[in-house]
Amino acid sequence: MVRLSFLASLASLLPLALAAHGPAPGQIKNLATFGDSYTDVVVVSNGGTQWPVYASGYAHVKLFPYARSGAPCSQLLTPRPWPAVVQDEIPLYLTELKNGSIKVPAQETLYTLWIGTNDLGPNTLVSGASVVNNTNIVDVTSCAVGWINTLYEHGARNFLFQNMLPSEHLPIYAPDAYFSRYWSAPRNATEWHMSIGELTAAYNEIAKLKLQALPSSLPGAHIGLFDSHSLFTNILTHPASYLNGTAPLNTTGAVNACVFQENESLSDPGVCTTATGSAKDSFVWYDELHPSEQSDRIVAREIANVIQGKGSQYATWFS
């Protein structure tokens, strides 16, 4: 009985012993960001300032931005005419690290990745086009999580993987979606709405399982998941708690909404309605495919809290 009692007590302590808290408060001095237009600070997708700039300012860390608009994870899976994480962003980082143009001490740098919008979106998985060798959701998710392994081999140790937001609520994927700058060809809007929701759910669940399995093979690494999906679900469900613009709160429209005619060239301007000034902060979405600047401020605030060791309800550390 004594032995069983001891084992029961030990078992009750295991969750506490195995709890992971990520980097220590004050440990992170640098933020290195990878991904697509949701994170690119040069070609800005929200009409203002992108979340990494806000996050680095809130947390008082130095920013090393490598995300590029239009990026897929790999050109070998979902080729696109823009830089990719595997073929361009990671090599650029490694080149700068090797030639000494950047100095990012491994233990003082948090690496983030927000990718998937272009792998799953228009002209790729959801439309069934521009995929190589029957690329599927497992392939693109494995590529994204593999970013950790690659950077770990080159010294990185602190990783925060940002999963996909609830894409089915973006205006481009609405059941009654209009033709826009991102897609003006005929499509079954209801089918796209359902398919992108299923793809996003699969991506996020596969990524979580793969991230949970990584720590055993990457000693000394801090591996975390930032739940963008839950964050944006909360914003959409309780907009008054997150949006503070002067226009009526809007979770379905966009700051810069441009309606196209069927098969209209995507280089044409379309017919646009644009919110200005403080009214912009009443919207969850900037355009048909991207979060608004106000949404990005919320992302930045949560990630800054992670950087500073304050924690976030949307961040989970697996090691």
pLDDT at 12: 41
pLDDT at 208: 98
Contact 151, 306 (CB under 8 A): no
Residues 295, 283: Cα–Cα separation, whole Å:
8
Tell me the helix, strand and coil percentages in the chain, rounded to 5. 40, 15, 45
pLDDT at 289: 98
Residues 165, 170: Cα–Cα separation, whole Å:
9
Alpha carbons within 13 angstroms on the beta-carbon side of residue 247 total 16
Phi and psi at residue 180, to the nearest 5°: -140, -175
pTM of the predicted protein model: 0.93
User: Token pair 């991102």 is at which residue?
Assistant: 182
pLDDT at 19: 61
pLDDT at 8: 44
Nearest Cα residue to 301 out of 236, 222, 226, 246: 226
User: Token pair 């962003």 is at which residue?
Assistant: 89
Alpha helices in 214-311 (DSSP H): 228-237, 293-307
pLDDT at 4: 42
Per DSSP bridges, beta strands 158-162 and 222-226 are parallel
pLDDT at 157: 98
Contact 137, 120 (CB under 8 A): yes
- Residues in the chain where the model's pLDDT stays below 70: 1-19
91 DSSP 8-state letter: H
Alpha carbons within 13 angstroms on the beta-carbon side of residue 95 total 7
For the chain, the structural domain boundaries read 25-241+292-317
Contact 294, 280 (CB under 8 A): yes
Residues 177, 68: Cα–Cα separation, whole Å:
26
Amino acid at 146: G
Separation in Å, CA 45 to CA 38, 79, 107, 266: 7, 21, 31, 16
* Gyration radius (Cα) of the chain, Å: 20
Per DSSP bridges, beta strands 256-259 and 222-226 are unpaired
Residues 78, 203: Cα–Cα separation, whole Å:
15
pLDDT at 16: 35
Residues 228, 204: Cα–Cα separation, whole Å:
10
* The CATH classification of domain 25-241+292-317, taken from the options 3.40.50.150, 3.40.50.1110, 3.30.2350.10, 3.30.565.10: 3.40.50.1110
Average pLDDT, the chain: 94
Q: What is the DSSP string of 177-218?
A: PPPBTTB-S---HHHHHHHHHHHHHHHHHHHHHHHHHSGGGS
